[in-house]
Amino acid sequence: MSAPTGTLAEQIFDRPAAVKQERTKPYRLVVGLPDWTDLSAAIQHLGPEAGNPDVVAVANASTLTELHEKALAHEADVVLLSPLLPGFKESGAELVQRLYHHDPLPIVTLGVVPPGSGDWPQTLHDLGARGHVVGPLREDAVAQLVDLIRAQVPRADQERTSVRHIPYLDRQTAAIVDRGGWQRQTIAVWSAKGGVGKTFLAVNLAVLLGVVANKFTVLVDADMAPGEAHLWLGGVGDRDHTIYQLAQDFASNGNQLTPAMVKPYLAPYQGNLHVLRSVVTPTWGGMPELTRQGAAFTHALLNALQQFADFVVIDPGLSYTHPVPLTALHRADLVLVVVTPAIASPYRLHGALEPLRREMEIDPARFKLVFNRHNPHLGTKRKEVVDVLKLPEFAVLSQDVEDEVDLSQNAQEPLVLRYPKLALTQEVVALATNFYPPLRDIWARYGTRGLRPRSGLGDLLRQVFRRQPRATTA
């Protein structure tokens, strides 16, 4: 790799030098379709002569390699990718990522799928395609395609040129893409004891999946106490868009919730992380929308989120009686049960698991222990805790002795971004890698950056990472 050039910000964040100005030229499309009839139809309906002056098809490709090569050679703004193209299965993910991280400007991928094609739209979405149309590419499908291009290309440009864009997946890293071995999941980080690190872990896990790995991740702060996950994330969101107002919408919409209703409540953090804020006061948590209707609402919420999120990370607080956290525990694919070495922590959990077992099966395949603030000097033996609680160990996170956890909280910047070299950070990364294995390599690359001399960088990093909290009403 050649020596880095440019400003510090560019060195660290690989920020693209060019920014697309007001658009005067048509979007350049490279069409990757195995079907020639479709291909000629697409070309025929695009361009000024066909009444679609905003988009021109500049090339076509019949294999994935060709699509990549032509997209670069023709300085495409967007490619249309069919999953039936030879090479898709082996290299589709890599292509989409490489194109998105193309310098100086991203090349957007849109999909075209055969009608009634089951999982293809989802697969394309998982790979990073920003939308799809259903073939054959007749006039109406082409019109949809043009709309998608008009919406998605500027959006991708904006993301890439935003100061908050962190291209962890740069050119080299883009080669490290989904190699299978992961699945969409809902993960709850729970404990019956307060102050054990539930929120710390939930926030940093969500940041690794959503920001660093760039998978669509929603952090749901379902702590009715109330929660304060947003405080670790620069105060993201506002008090008028919390889980409570969403529950009110659910109630006033005849107990229905669609993804479109949920999305406005998700406050965007960096990358692909979105946050649903907690109630602001315990009083809200006691309102009928979250109590009497709480279980139905939480089911509907998770149903909606699971339609579009890769990962849902829930911080349910310490309750196991309130219907919202209780339903979250029911529904999570995995519950990370946080336990610390202070004896009160396993004691409290032991007391909670018994009544909880009456509510649901505490399946050791679904409930697993995370030992946090682990400190062997305290004498609590992990083996004994595992035996007493009858739950397996999932991970061990050490006690941070230099106060970086609290420092990161006070700086409103997640630990894993602020202190990438810290041993505790490496442990959280290892934990998150269980959910998304490519994170290991992505992190290795990011971690190398973190090892660069940081003198004078602190302020810069803070500036770049800091989000202005949205205006609040109180």
Ligand X SMILES: Nc1ncnc2c1ncn2[C@@H]1O[C@H](COP(=O)(O)OP(=O)(O)OP(=O)(O)O)[C@@H](O)[C@H]1O
Binding site for ligand X (CB under 6 A): 191, 194-200, 223, 317-318, 372-373, 397, 399-400, 405-406, 409, 424
- With respect to ligand X, which residue has the nearer C-beta, 60 or 242? 242
Q: Report the nearest approach of ligand X to the CB of residue 214 (Å).
A: 24
Q: Which of 97, 123, 186, 199 binds Mg ion (CB under 5 A)?
A: 199
Question: Exposed, middle or buried, 77 (CB in 10 Å: 0-12/13-18/19+)?
Answer: buried
Q: In this structure, are residues 399 and 374 in contact, taking their beta carbons and an 8 Å threshold? A: yes
| Helix (H) / strand (E) containing 213 | none
- With respect to ligand X, which residue has the nearer C-beta, 108 or 338? 338
**409 near Mg ion, rule: CB under 5 A:** no
Q: In this structure, are residues 206 and 274 in contact, taking their beta carbons and an 8 Å threshold? A: no
- With respect to Mg ion, which residue has the nearer C-beta, 199 or 408? 199
- With respect to ligand X, which residue has the nearer C-beta, 42 or 385? 385
Side by side, the strands of the sheet bearing 132-134 are 55-61, 27-32, 78-81, 108-113, 132-134
Q: Report the nearest approach of Mg ion to the CB of residue 222 (Å).
A: 11
Q: Report the nearest approach of ligand X to the CB of residue 253 (Å).
A: 30
Q: Which stretch binds Mg ion (CB under 5 A): 199-207, 245-253, 257-265, 285-293?
A: 199-207
368 binds, among ligand X, Mg ion, none (CB under 5 to 8 A by kind): none
399 binds, among ligand X, Mg ion, none (CB under 5 to 8 A by kind): ligand X
Token pair 């694919």 is found at 333
Q: In this structure, are residues 78 and 109 in contact, taking their beta carbons and an 8 Å threshold? A: yes
- With respect to ligand X, which residue has the nearer C-beta, 229 or 290? 229
Q: Report the nearest approach of ligand X to the CB of residue 379 (Å).
A: 18
Q: Report the nearest approach of Mg ion to the CB of residue 200 (Å).
A: 8
Q: Distance between CA atoms of 189 and 167, rounded to whole angstroms?
A: 28
Per-residue burial over 385-415, b = 16 or more CB atoms within 10 Å of its CB, e = otherwise: bbeebebeebbebbbbeeebbeebbebbbbb
Nearest to 245 by CA among 297, 203, 206: 297
200 binds, among ligand X, Mg ion, none (CB under 5 to 8 A by kind): ligand X
- With respect to ligand X, which residue has the nearer C-beta, 145 or 318? 318
97 binds, among ligand X, Mg ion, none (CB under 5 to 8 A by kind): none
Q: What is the DSSP letter of 471?
A: P
Question: Exposed, middle or buried, 49 (CB in 10 Å: 0-12/13-18/19+)?
Answer: exposed
- With respect to ligand X, which residue has the nearer C-beta, 113 or 405? 405
Residues of this chain that bind Mg ion (CB under 5 A): 198-199
